[in-house]
Chains A and B, each alone.
Chain A
Amino acid sequence: MNRVAARAGICLLLVALLLFGMVFFLFEYAVNADAWVVFPGSPHVYNGGNIGCGIVTDRDGVVLLNMSDGRIYAQAEDLRKSMVHWLGDRKGNVYAPALSVYSEQLAGYDFLNGLYAYGRIGGTAKLTLSATVQQEALKAFGDYKGTIGVYNYKTGELLCAVSTPNYDPDNPPDISDDTTGKYDGLYVNRFTQSNYVPGSIFKIVTLAAALESIPDIQEQSFICKGSYDIGKDTITCTGKHGRQDIKQAFRNSCNCAFAQIAEQLGKDTLTLYVEQFGVVESLSFDGITTAAGKYDVSQASQFSLAWSSIGQYTDLVNPCGFMTFVGTIAAGGKGVKPYLVESITSDNMTTHKGKGQSGDRIMSAATADIIREFMAYNVSDKYGSDNFPGLTVCAKTGTAEVGGEKKPNAWMTGFVADEEYPLAFVVVVEDGGYGREICMPILSKVLEACKQSMIKNG
């Protein structure tokens, strides 16, 4: 019997295997449980592909989305529409990465209680967006497709970001049978995810590169006869601008002058500065990764290089990325990147505090000052300061040819130079036409709304 009794120990091997396995699991649990809870699709956190717990408000505390029981959007239809690309919808057609990334804080997970939440409602995410500005922007945009973004270039707060077309998540349209094209890219957040041909707004980049690398650029003068020949090819201009210095050329948005500047800069220098300025780089904030733009002149001829310097050729920029570039100029060559989630609070505890990530210096303060002066001159001398009462706006418009039968994309980007309203902005209207005509009215209303919002907030 002694032998058999001793051999009974073989059971202990299995006990050890079981206990070892459980300890291994407990270790994994201790390390990973918080990640498992919020893994995409986790049933208690997600709902139809989007996070399904917590509350989202705008910067003033207006409730945009309450997910503590179901998914209740804001009362106002225009607010629901203007926010859908940030909040996501019920079916997960629009994904809300900025909320999902904070799913742990929104879900209110803790190790002991898991997601059990008696007397708690999970977290409350406060966005930097302003509901009133969003509504105003949506109204101003009308039926156009495109996007507008405004952010505070000193703090990084994103005040306004609307992408159109959009829709009411409480009443989603049936787009399967649509042939009119009015729902094209309905689910795409154009502000962060799209790429557009920049057109003339890219002249800011070329200007900055020239100011940084060509010492006598401000003393030079450029002649525009309405066109400029490079080899057998011809760059065309919108008019005959005659002899002009770089400030005038920038004001006139003169293609011929910028083609000559591009020739002076050359491929490598221009590419180097595009990289240094981070114009086509992808940005990451609050779980959002913006689409990277494109500037590739490695195969370009001199002629193509000239086009690339005025935002045509194969150039592509992302609105959010370009806005950040312009905002950095406004901040003096070194600024902060935008962010969307101001804070997350749970049980009166702040579990997340948003902050604009500070960027590297991309150009000298002197260069930034000159560009600011030039852009201010654009508005005062050409676009009309009276469009922006009480604001010192510096801007550049663009009209980007996209080919085909479509009208050009209308652009306007820039910033407010006033100390108390440090706002940088970008507007792009697809199939819009002439930049200034289309964008100015929209921008004028939105900037006014931003101003009011900031006054209200002190």
Chain B
Amino acid sequence: MSDLVSVLLNAQDAYVHVFTAIFRWIAPVLASVLLFRCIKPLLTFRRVPEVWAQLCLSDDHKLPVTHWENVIGRSKRSDIVINIPTVSRSHAVLTRYDDGSWTITDADSKDGVFVNGKRIKIRALQSEDVISIGGVEMTLQPISKQQEQRLAQVRTKTSSVFSSFANVVLLSVFQCLCCLAFLIGSGSQYAQNILLGFGGIMVCQWLLLLFYVCIRRISFEVETIAFFLCTMGMAIIATIAPKETVKQLLAMVLGLTLFLTVGWSLRDLERAKKFRYIAAAAGVGFLFITLLFGKEYYGAKNWLVIGSFSIQPSELSKVCFVYVGASAMDRIMTKRNLFLFIGYSIIICGCLALMNDFGTAIIFFCAFLVIAYMRSGSVGTIALACTSLGFAGVVALKIAPHALRRFNAWRHIWEKPLAAGYQQTRALMCMASGGLLGLGAGNGWMRYVFAADSDVAIATLGEEWGLVFVLLAVLAVAALALFSVRSAAMGRSSFYTIGACTAASIMLMQTILNALGTVDVLPLTGVTFPFLSNGGSSMICSWGLLAFIKAADTRQNASFAVRLTRKGGISSE
């Protein structure tokens, strides 16, 4: 009898090995195919300009109006170019609203904007209104409802429902195999946590997809990428801190809630503009609360402990910051100064300085630069950057002792493998030990290293899943950013474009600091990898940011954060 038991135990040992030997090849192939299928449409969709109205000049010349926000001016970079000396470089802004109405705003032009002979600052346009800009008279002819529907039909199609389903099925298969790898590999001690963790993600992704189908949205690439990263994050947690899988899953559910909330708030630009004030207040509010009641862990006072939960409010402030920074065109063109926003940024940076949170400060600073550049163009940016750099310097000085140690070790980790370079040398040794295909789920050593599931999470990924997965994770984030940039060309409002690009930049910055910090290309700053790192606040923030990227996706029926054209989209009644 005991012989039989031992034979069976040995047999189990054997099939675990066989499974690992096969799965380590299947996993990267499956993941690569999945990501390729998701990324390809995001980077290759055809960008067809949408014509929303026409400006009829007195000589019967017609100028197409291709955005919801259009700068009229002499400058070649204007959306509607009228090259006459009396027209200012940026003269006026023509804005379309969700209900199809239009306004014209004077962009501080020299000669002013006249509607029906009266000089105006801003005015809602009625049909037949005669607009006069620098002596050029014109009328606005919005497209009719029929034309609008036709526009919806010819608009860049998003991928098919089938494709989205196929991707989610592929992801689900991958998740099942991951789960299996952990369950048969590492025994059953944490089987329940692991099952809940992976199973929970699977349920969430299917529910979200079904919800999308119900509201006639079919693009799911961006979400699939996010769910894939969450899955890999779960794989890291399952090996490093299996008790925390459920906590991370809950954070993901909260993140999805934030994702849908922010997305909903962005559907309507006017609503979004109102939300900015709440966001602005919340952004500083979170930081103030942290300053007052926060706890200091590992050198930074950025934790808020409520009962048995601890959160990092500065993560949530990132989402608020994007909200505050984004701005519509009329505002950009009329109020060129950014003083309010700079003031706001200074307060944020000041709070972070007081918290000693170096990594987050860099990310905010970078987000600030992106916003400042996108809003002001090149002219003011340099000055702004310098100003803000000064503040960054203050931050850096303030937290010098904490950061200095890491900067000292930078590019010298192999000289101090047991002191300042410990985390990174272990990370590199383990990543190299994993090779391209990894040692197998649960077979890593990184669990003995501090922050192996957050600050140096990619090392755990590299060790157990292989370098291929590290590259896939990094490429996934890069793809989200490239998609945001591509969407900008078809952006309807600068509010969405700035929002998407800022959100993407924050994710990029986090990835740069996390991934490159882990491998000693940059100093290690203790920043999380979006969706991947263990950490509730970070997970919630990542989903919040994703909503901004989603809101800039104007492909037909692509995004829940973009309204279908008033009377129906492709399946109009």
A residues whose Cβ falls under 8 Å from a Cβ of B: 1-12, 14-15, 17-19, 21-22, 24-26, 28-29, 32-34, 36-37, 39-45, 109-116, 118-119
Contact B477–A36 (Cβ < 8 Å): no
Residue ID in chain A nearest B495 by CB atoms? A4
CA A247 to CA B162, docked complex, whole Å: 100
Report whether B437 and A114 are in contact in the complex, using a CB–CB cutoff of 8 Å. yes
| Contact present for A4 and B488 (CB under 8 Å) | yes
Q: Given the known inter-chain contacts A4-B374, A36-B432, please indicate yes or no for A25 contacting B481, CB distance below 8 A.
A: no
**A114 neighbours in B (Cβ, 8 Å):** 432-439, 466
Bound-state CA distance A276–B329 (Å) is 85
B71 touches A3 (CB 8 A): yes
Contacts of B494 in A (CB 8 A): 1, 4
Residue interface bits B339-380, CB-to-A below 8 A is 1, else 0:
000000000000000000000000000100110011001000
B429, B493, B508, B519: the one contacting A37 at CB < 8 Å is: B429
Name the contact of B24 in the complex, choosing from A11, A33, A43, A116 (C-beta under 8 A). Answer: A116
- CA separation between A2 and B66, bound complex, in Å? 10
Binary contact track B77-119/A, C-beta < 8 Å → 1, others 0: 1110000000000000000000000000000000000000000
Q: Are the C-beta atoms of A11 and B497 separated by less than 8 Å?
A: no
Binding site for A on B (CB under 8 A): 17, 20-21, 24, 66-71, 77-79, 329, 332, 366, 369-370, 373-374, 377, 414, 417-418, 425-426, 428-440, 445, 448, 466-467, 471, 474, 477-478, 481-482, 484-485, 488-489, 491-494, 497-498, 501, 504-505, 508-509, 511-512, 515-516, 519, 521-522
A110 near B79: Cβ-Cβ < 8 Å: no
Determine if A7 and B329 form an interchain contact, defined as CB atoms under 8 angstroms apart. no
Known: A7-B373, A11-B485. A43 touches B71 (CB 8 A): no
Is there contact, CB below 8 Å, between B481 and A15?
Answer: yes
Which residues does chain B contribute within 8 Å of A44, judged by CB atoms?
429-430, 433, 439, 445
Contact indicator A22/B515 (Cβ below 8 Å): yes
Most buried by B among A1, A15, A36: A1
Q: If the complex has contacts A11-B484, A18-B477, are A43 and B433 also in contact, measured as CB distance less than 8 A?
A: yes
Please tell me if the beta carbons of B432 and A19 are within 8 angstroms of each other in the complex. Answer: no
B417: A residues at CB distance < 8 A: 39-41
- A8 and B488 contact, CB distance less than 8 A: yes
Q: Are B433 and A14 in contact (CB under 8 A)?
A: no
Question: Given A1-B70, A116-B24, does the pair A14, B432 have CB atoms closer than 8 Å?
Answer: no
- Does A14 contact B69, Cβ atoms closer than 8 Å? no
- Are B516 and A25 touching (Cβ within 8 A)? yes
User: How many Å from the CB of A412 to the closest CB on chain B?
Assistant: 43
- Indicate if the CB atoms of B521 and A43 lie closer than 8 Å: no
Contact A15 B482 (CB under 8 A): yes
Contacts of A113 on B, CB cut-off 8 Å?
435-437
Of residues B467, B484, B504, which shows the largest number of chain A Cβ atoms within 10 Å of its Cβ? B467
Q: A8-B501, A18-B516, A42-B429 are in contact. List 18 more A-B contacts (CB 8 A).
A: A1-B67, A1-B494, A1-B497, A2-B79, A4-B488, A8-B484, A8-B497, A11-B505, A18-B512, A21-B521, A29-B467, A29-B519, A36-B428, A39-B429, A43-B429, A43-B430, A44-B430, A114-B433
Q: What are 27 A-B contacts with C-beta separation under 8 Å?
A: A10-B505, A11-B370, A11-B484, A11-B504, A11-B508, A12-B482, A14-B481, A21-B515, A22-B474, A28-B519, A28-B521, A29-B431, A37-B432, A39-B425, A41-B429, A43-B448, A44-B445, A109-B435, A112-B437, A113-B436, A114-B433, A114-B434, A114-B437, A115-B434, A116-B438, A116-B440, A118-B20
Task: Evaluate contact between B497 and A5: CB separation under 8 angstroms.
Answer: yes
Set of chain B residues within 8 Å of A112, measured between Cβ atoms: 435-437
CA distance A1 to B494 in the complex (A): 6
- Find out whether the CB atom of A10 lies under 8 angstroms from the CB atom of B370: yes
B332 contacts across to A, CB distance below 8 A: 4
Closest to A113 in B: B435
Give CA–CA (A333, B376) in the complex, Å: 83
For the complex formed, measure the closest distance between the CB of B258 and the CB atoms of chain A, giving whole angstroms: 22
* A111 contact set on B, CB distance < 8 A: 435-436
| Distance between Cα atoms of A119 and B471 in the complex (Å) | 28
Cα A438 to Cα B491 in complex, Å, equals 94
Using Cβ atoms and an 8 Å threshold, which residues of chain B touch A24? 521
Q: Are B374 and A10 in contact (CB under 8 A)?
A: yes
| CB neighbours of A12 from chain B (8 A) | 482, 485
A41 to chain B, nearest CB (A): 6
CB distance from B24 to the nearest CB of A (A): 7
CB-CB < 8 A to A9: which residues of B?
485
Give Cα A33 to B516, complex, Å. Answer: 16
Given known A-B contacts A21-B512, A25-B516, A4 and B433 have beta carbons under 8 A apart: no
| Contact A2–B78 (Cβ < 8 Å) | yes
| B333 → A minimal CB distance (Å) | 9
**Shortest CB distance A47–B (Å):** 11
Of the listed residues B68, B77, B505, the one surrounded by the most CB atoms of chain A closer than 10 A to its CB is B505
Q: State whether A19 touches B478 (Cβ < 8 A).
A: yes
Considering the chains assembled together, what is the distance between the CA atoms of A124 and B417 in angstroms? 28
How far is it, in angstroms, between the C-alpha of A445 and the C-alpha of B79 when the chains are bound?
99
Given A2-B77, A41-B418, A43-B433, are A7 and B516 also a contact pair (CB < 8 Å)? no
Could you tell me if A3 and B448 are in contact, using CB atoms closer than 8 angstroms?
A: no
A110 touches B489 (CB 8 A): no
Which residues on the A side are within 8 Å of B493 (C-beta)?
1
Residues of chain B with a CB closer than 8 A to A37's CB: 429, 432-433
> Which residues of chain A come closer than 8 Å to B501, judged between CB atoms?
8, 10-11
B28 to chain A, nearest CB (A): 11
Could you say which residues of chain A place their CB within 8 Å of the CB of B428?
36
Chain B min CB distance to A118 (Å): 5
Determine how close the nearest CB of chain A comes to the CB of B330; give it in whole angstroms.
11
Picked from A2, A14, A28, the residue with its CB within 8 Å of the CB of B508 is: A14
Given A15-B482, A29-B467, answer yes or no on A22-B516 (Cβ-Cβ < 8 Å): yes
Q: In the complex, what's the smallest C-beta–C-beta distance from A286 to chain B, in angstroms? A: 23
Judge whether A116 and B435 touch: CB under 8 Å: yes
Query: A115 vs B17: C-alpha distance in the bound complex, in angstroms?
Result: 14
In the assembled complex, the CB of A214 is this many whole angstroms from the nearest CB of chain B, namely 52
Question: Who on chain A is nearest to B418 by CB?
Answer: A41
Bound form: Cα–Cα A118–B17 in Å? 7
Residues of the A chain whose Cβ atoms lie less than 8 Å from the Cβ of B77: 2-3, 6
- Which of chain B's residues has its CB closest to A116's CB? B439
Contact for B505 among A14, A22, A34, A42, CB less than 8 A:
A14
Residues of B within 8 A of A4 (CB): 329, 332, 374, 488, 491, 494, 497-498
CA–CA, A26 and B436, complex, Å: 11
A114 vs B67: C-alpha distance in the bound complex, in angstroms?
53
* Cα distance, A118 to B439, chains bound together (Å): 10
Shortest CB-to-CB span from B254 to chain A, Å, is 27
Q: How far is the CA of A235 from the CA of B319 in the complex (A)?
A: 91
**Is B484 within 8 A of A1, CB to CB?**
no
Residues of A within 8 A of B71 (CB): 1-3
Which of the residues B426, B435, B478, B482 comes within 8 Å of A110, measured between beta carbons?
B435
The distance from the CB of A213 to the nearest CB of chain B, in whole angstroms, is 48
Q: Judging by beta carbons under 8 Å apart, are B485 and A42 in contact?
A: no
Contact between A3 and B377, CB atoms less than 8 A apart: yes
Residues of A within 8 A of B515 (CB): 18, 21-22
Contact yes or no, B432 A11, CB < 8 A: no
Q: Which 8 A-B pairs have the closest CB atoms?
A: A114-B435, A8-B488, A33-B432, A1-B67, A43-B445, A36-B432, A42-B429, A4-B494
* Contact of A21 with B437 in the complex, beta carbons under 8 Å: no
Closest residue to B474 on the A side, CB-wise? A22
Complex interface: chain A residues within 8 A of B426 (CB)? 43
Residues of B close to A116: CB separation below 8 A: 24, 434-435, 437-440
Looking at the assembled complex, report how far the CB atom of A111 sits from the nearest CB atom of chain B, in whole angstroms: 7
Which of A4, A10, A29, A37: most chain B CB closer than 10 A? Answer: A4
Residues of B within 8 A of A14 (CB): 366, 481, 505, 508-509, 512
Give the complex CA separation of A203 and B505 in angstroms. 78
